[in-house]
Chain A
Amino acid sequence: MDSELIQQIRYQARDLLESGTVKGVIGYERASDGLTARPFFAYEPAAVERLIFDETCSHNLARYLVDKKNEKMAVVVKPCDSRAINLLLNEEQIKRDMVFVIGVTCPGVVETSWNHKDEELQARCKTCQLVEPPVYDFLANGEAVERPQGEPYLDVQQMETKPITERKAFWSEQFDRCIRCYACRQVCPGCYCPECFVEQLNPLWVGIRIAPKENELWQIMRAFHLAGRCIGCDECERVCPVDIPLSLLNRKLEKEVKELFDFQAGLNPEEQPPLATFKKEEKLGFEE
């Protein structure tokens, strides 16, 4: 028996497809392991029967909206994922009238890999404050679930107390493993540049070597490009094949931006991201 939440998602998806309101619905279906979820694009009303939602639906499907920006699509989003829609609207990558947002109230998701799911909620879910998506057109309402409200920056704060040499050594060790597969970039809803700086070959910005120096440059540039823009879905960390703790880096920058500008990305589509705007009265730090 499928949950009430799934029934609501399917009902809405069917309606949108049958009425021709959208060309397709981006949701989740069961993966080939029969246990976890994977993204699914439904273009026919009959296909909505394949849509599911459960604690294995970790993927942030808002990422696909940029690929489909010229077609009206519906997308199933958890509260965290929906922040990416606000980010993309804010940065004018998608148009609001080209997206129908099927929001879900989220009980939290677990770590998954193919043929495996954890029992425990993902770390980010344990500190998530959002019960409803900040943006939606239809809300699929699941059972209300109480979540423990933890401190989101505990590990960042611990890291901050360590001497710089130790922090440098830690990150060097992490980045040395990087194989520059760019899965972190490809999965990120905020990484939509038509040509990424690492792929600009003429002139060559970053060498092609898969080696410590280049890996580090890639990873630092990636993180900085997301400062004040990362919406905290942690998809980059989930997909990393060599388990680099990218969320730790992203949340350090998120924390800085929060402290400096009292801003978190994707909560409000109207509010300009601080690092993309300039106010005359702002101090530059080197005048006078």
Chain B
Amino acid sequence: MNLFISRDELIRWLDQLLRERILAAPVQVQGLTLFQPISKVEEVTLDFGNTTLSPKEWFLPPTETLFSMQGNDGHPQLVPSTIEKDAVIFGLRPCDAKGIALMDGPFLREPGDALYQERRARTSLIGLSCRQVQPECFCTSVGSAPNDSSHVDILLTEIENGYIVQVITEKGKALLPEGLTESKEELPAPPELQAVPTKEVTQAVREFFDNPYWEQLADRCLHCNICAYVCPTCYCFDVRDYPNKGNPERVRSWDSCQSTGFTRIAGGYDPRAAKGARLRQRFSHKLLYFPEEFQDIACVGCGRCVKSCPVNIDIREVMSDLQQLEAKSGS
């Protein structure tokens, strides 16, 4: 049974949620749409295709302290960071929710990442299905859909006078306001998307590891970190200890396989110093190594990298090129 919530009721609900916990929602900031903790419901925008950065930063922040060392009497204690409040992420798209589900693979597999685990357990996801799709979107080609409810606790779908509410999990049920009635309307059909073939792509990446294709593609790649940082499934990080005035702390920050020195090892050797090798790593991780470990390819079709890449390295084109190489070699 699906429920219905009017726009006024939604505002009251969000207002109630933000009093009890951290409520992160899409906010317009200088022309960008970003997930930010809000203090007033009026800050929320629902008029967006997708946010500029993905909501992954709520589980893997750009920078966080993992633990600090306290006590300088010769017996220092490690004090792990903790999460202060429960949180709700409101308004995330189904593709981004799948991105979080994919990050669960590396972060929750034993031994899980303690901070990620805690954030994940204490955060609820209220998704917003897409009634319109963007030209860069291709979620249906990578196992998601504009109305995919599999990775959220509650999914809202906008209809004329409000939203249809699908309660997916017990966690979602606990968040619901009282007094919502059954929806009289059926869920609308999701918008259609152009298909991007991905069937042979994992095999093709494996087979064409040494193909000159990668060096050629890397010619125009700038090797900035935009694609990795806007991506809802890229999760590489760097770790560093800071003195912090006698209470040293261990910090982790986002990092990317595109940056120079990402793979540099002791002694200075870098096995992926070549531009092509670095670019291949990005796609190999997404399309080959990740599915080998965790089944799905590590792309949710949000199209952020397509939209943000300054030199138009388009993952759909890369997948298509690789599969064409595969088709040619097979014939």
A residues near B, CB below 8 A? 31-33, 36, 38-41, 59, 63-64, 67, 113-115, 177, 179-183, 185-187, 195, 199, 201, 204, 207-211, 235, 238-239, 241-243
Contact = CB atoms under 8 A, between A and B. Distances in A.
Interface string B215-246: 01001101111101110000000101010000
Contacts of B115: none
A174 B30 CA distance: 9
B240 A114 contact: no
A32 B306 contact: yes
Given A186-B224, A208-B255, 12 more contacts: A39-B220, A41-B216, A41-B220, A59-B311, A67-B219, A114-B307, A177-B29, A180-B253, A180-B254, A182-B224, A208-B238, A243-B32
Given A64-B219, A238-B310, A209 B261 contact: no
A199 B261 contact: yes
B10 interface: no
Contacts of A210: 62-63, 253-254
Contact of B259 (A32, A182, A207, A235): A182
Contacts of B256: 181
Interface in B246-285: 251, 253-256, 259-261, 275
Given A183-B222, A204-B240, A243-B30, A114 B259 contact: no
Interface stretch (B102-110, B186-194, B312-320): B312-320
Contacts of A183: 222, 224-226, 310
Nearest 6 pairs of A and B residues by beta carbon: A183-B224, A210-B62, A239-B310, A38-B312, A181-B225, A186-B222
A114 B306 contact: yes
B183 interface: no
Nearest to B62: A210
A33 B308 CA distance: 13
A238 B30 CA distance: 15
A156 B242 CA distance: 37
A240 to B, nearest CB: 9
Given A114-B306, A210-B63, A39 B311 contact: yes
Nearest to A43: B216
Secondary structure call for the A interface: loop
B201 to A, nearest CB: 17
Nearest to B306: A114
Nearest to A200: B261
A67 to B, nearest CB: 7
Contact of A239 (B224, B228, B242, B260): B224
Interface of B: 29-32, 52-53, 62-63, 135-136, 216, 219-220, 222-226, 228-230, 238, 240, 242, 251, 253-256, 259-261, 275, 306-312, 314, 316-317
A207 B240 contact: yes
B135 A211 contact: no
A206 B24 CA distance: 30
A164 B240 CA distance: 34
A179 B62 contact: yes
A41 B275 CA distance: 15
25 contacts: A33-B312, A36-B312, A38-B311, A39-B311, A40-B220, A41-B220, A59-B311, A114-B312, A115-B136, A177-B29, A177-B32, A179-B62, A180-B225, A181-B256, A182-B259, A183-B225, A195-B260, A199-B261, A208-B238, A208-B251, A209-B251, A210-B63, A211-B63, A241-B53, A242-B52
Given A33-B135, A181-B224, A182-B224, A207 B219 contact: no
Contacts of B251: 207-209
B229 to A, nearest CB: 5
Contacts of A199: 259-261
Given A179-B254, A187-B222, A210-B63, A241 B308 contact: yes
A53 B198 CA distance: 33
Contacts of B31: 243
Contacts of B275: 67
Given A115-B135, A210-B62, A243-B31, A187 B253 contact: no
Contacts of B63: 208-211
Contacts of B317: 32
Nearest to B317: A32
A63 B254 CA distance: 26
Contact of A208 (B225, B240, B308): B240
Given A67-B275, A207-B240, A181 B29 contact: no
Given A208-B240, A241-B229, A31 B312 contact: yes
Nearest to B222: A186
B37 to A, nearest CB: 14
B82 to A, nearest CB: 19
A195 B259 CA distance: 11
Contacts of B225: 179-183
Contacts of B240: 204, 207-208
